[in-house]
Amino acid sequence: MAAAASPDLTARAAHGALARQLRLARQGRSMLFPFIGRSVRFEVWAHYPRHDAIDSSGRWQFYFHAHDRTEQDSARHPQEHGHIHLFRRSPQGKLTHFAGLALDARGLPLCWFTTNQWVTGERWAAASSLVRELAHFELRLRGPLAGAGLWLADMVRVYAKPLRQMLLQRDAALARHCARHDQTPAQARVDRRVAVWSSLPVNWPQDALSAAGPMTQ
């Protein structure tokens, strides 16, 4: 299992995430801007960026999108504007969903969540495999989304310990579902009654301020 992030690492990540949002705020922008600010017209379901963002190592991929607000979706946070899907990427380009991060219309994080396999068509991996990624998580990109990648990596580091629990809870919830409905794991992962297996509420920026301690200008 992955070791919990050290207090110093968590504090540095909290400082980094807050600083990036503050710089955007001083420009009158939010964390939504790196994803959709240059788009002429925002479209639901479309990926932002269009072909997803892939870090320089090729091991991670992410994008932002939003669902149609008219859809009935009890799993979605009531204040959600859209969300980021973060994937682990194999050398062959196969994607495994790591976590989703919901944002409100101001670009503030609302909650982390895990999805069922059918939601993204991912290549499923056990939580025990995914939590090992938390110890040395990095996202490095070039271009307009470089800053957003660093911010997202800091968000993962800030919440590393509860994210570990959320991923383990995902697999526990799937197991309970299988027992309750007499399904195999493969059947449960395509059961469209379940879109989200587990979630983690975010109290932002209070969580970051608690983790960061005194900030210097």
Instruction: Please give the torsion angle defined by the CA atoms of residues 191, 72, 102 and 197, in that order, rounded to the nearest 10 degrees.
Output: -20
Around 92, how many Cα atoms within 13 Å sit in the side-chain half-sphere? Answer: 3
Confidence at residue 67, expressed as pLDDT on a 0 to 100 scale:
85
Domain boundaries, the chain: 7-70+78-211
Confidence at residue 77, expressed as pLDDT on a 0 to 100 scale:
76
Confidence at residue 71, expressed as pLDDT on a 0 to 100 scale:
62
Instruction: Provide the whole-model pTM.
Output: 0.91
Q: What is the mean pLDDT of each run of 10 residues along the chain (217 residues)?
A: 66 95 94 84 89 95 86 71 96 97 95 97 97 93 93 97 98 98 98 96 94 63
Q: Phi-psi region for residue 213, left (φ > 0), alpha (ψ -120 to 50) or beta?
A: left
Give the residue carrying structure tokens 């101001």.
106
Terminal alpha carbon distance of the chain: 37
Confidence at residue 73, expressed as pLDDT on a 0 to 100 scale:
62
Q: Where are the beta strands (DSSP E) in the chain?
A: 48-54, 60-65, 82-89, 95-103, 109-115, 196-201
Give the residue carrying structure tokens 């983790």.
211
Confidence at residue 213, expressed as pLDDT on a 0 to 100 scale:
74
